[in-house]
Amino acid sequence: MTESTVVGGNPWSAYMLDIYRSRRGPQPLGTVVFEEIEAKAREKLKDYGGAFMYAGGSAGSNSTYRANVAQFAKWGIIPRMLVNATRRSLETTIFGVTHSSPLLIAPIGVQAIFHPDAEFSPARAAKAVGVPYILSTAASRTIEEIAEANGDGHRWFQLYWPRTNEVTLSLLKRAKENNYKALVVTLDTMSLGWRPHDLETAYIPFGHGVGVQIGKSDPVFMARYGKQPVIEHPEFPYDAAKFDQGFVAGDPKAREGLFFGMEWLKEANSGLYRDWNDLKFLRDNWDGPLILKGIQSVHDAEKALEHGVDGIVVSNHGGRQVDGAIPSLLALEMIMRSSKVKEAQQAGKLTILFDSGIRTGSDIFKALALGAQAVLCKPPYVWLEYAN
């Protein structure tokens, strides 16, 4: 991306001029339309089993996903004219750190089923454009590998809260040692959601050892089975049938993949539900910003404040966990009407982040206008990478 020669020299708006000057259209995909990018990703992944629907599918009837998207259309932007916006900036300060825009790369696990670079590409891209990258506990690359790929970029770690304190402490230790600045604790996935497409195809990459790389590289988790931690990269493309055939034939690699996949799933999506008092354990063992992801009610936002949490992500997991839930943008509207939340935000005591339903720049604008300080981007970046 080159600097624009127009007054103001804003590199983001200069991108549009770069496209016009190139005379080729936006490269490499030839489109900037979200639906077309999504369609290209679907086409590229058509031979990879349930990979597309694993990322794009939702819980139950998909009603929460549809509601997330539809809620944005209920708000319209009213532009104001003759305002001096010649020199403008998208820079945003979150937890005392200034970033190039109010955009964070959301945690997405199991990326090895989509692309051979898996989590490496978005981690590098986040560094290149100056936004935080959030690594998922269900990643197919290790905490240490992503830290190296992200270099001096800003990164956070997303925690699927393990069943045991020993494994939790080990993950926090690794994250701190590798310069992950904030901890994002996902609250809505103590158990996996009811996802019809995944159930119809019995599609669960974890069962074949894909998306368990953080677990298999963890010394505490592996010591439980008398094993040393290992670093491995799952094969691409992911072929569930091939793994199943190997398991039946007695292939040691396939059998080990199933064993450790199921063991890590039981650890990270354990069905052990936590309560507010359990947050003290994380607060005592993590000295950076502590963020709760999955907040959908005023009650929970105010409880988070009472328990000394530094930030919340207003999110319903893109509709992947609870069918028939309220849209995330509506939850944000309600939460931002709370005087306690507003006062805490204005005093710098509570940072409000948002995800679920974001597809375009105007969606981001609306979420910010309703009170979010930054948004977590998921479908746009995942489809861009995998359509490429």
Binding site membership for FMN: which residues? 107-109, 136, 158, 186, 293, 315, 355-359
Active-site hit among 115, 154, 208, 317 = 317
**Selection from 242, 261, 223, 218 nearest residue 110 by Cα:** 261
**Could you give the CA distance from residue 69 to residue 147 in angstroms, rounded to a whole number?**
33
Burial of 11 (0-12, 13-18, 19+ CB in 10 A): middle
Q: How far apart are CA 187 and CA 237, in angstroms?
A: 31
Pair 69, 360: CB distance under 8 Å: no
CA 57 to chain CA centroid, Å, is 15
Binding residues for glyoxylate: 54, 160, 195, 317, 320
Which distant-in-sequence residues (6+ apart) come within 8 Å of 71 by Cβ? 327, 328, 329, 330, 357
* Tokens 């539900």, residue located: 273
State how far Cα 82 lies from the chain centre.
38
3-state SS class at 98: strand
Complete DSSP assignment for 170-185: HHHHHHHHTT--EEEE
**Dihedrals phi, psi of 24, to nearest 5 degrees:** -125, -5
Annotated binding site: 54, 107-109, 136, 158, 160, 186, 195, 293, 315, 317, 320, 355-359
User: Is 99 known to be catalytic?
Assistant: no
Cite the active site residues.
317
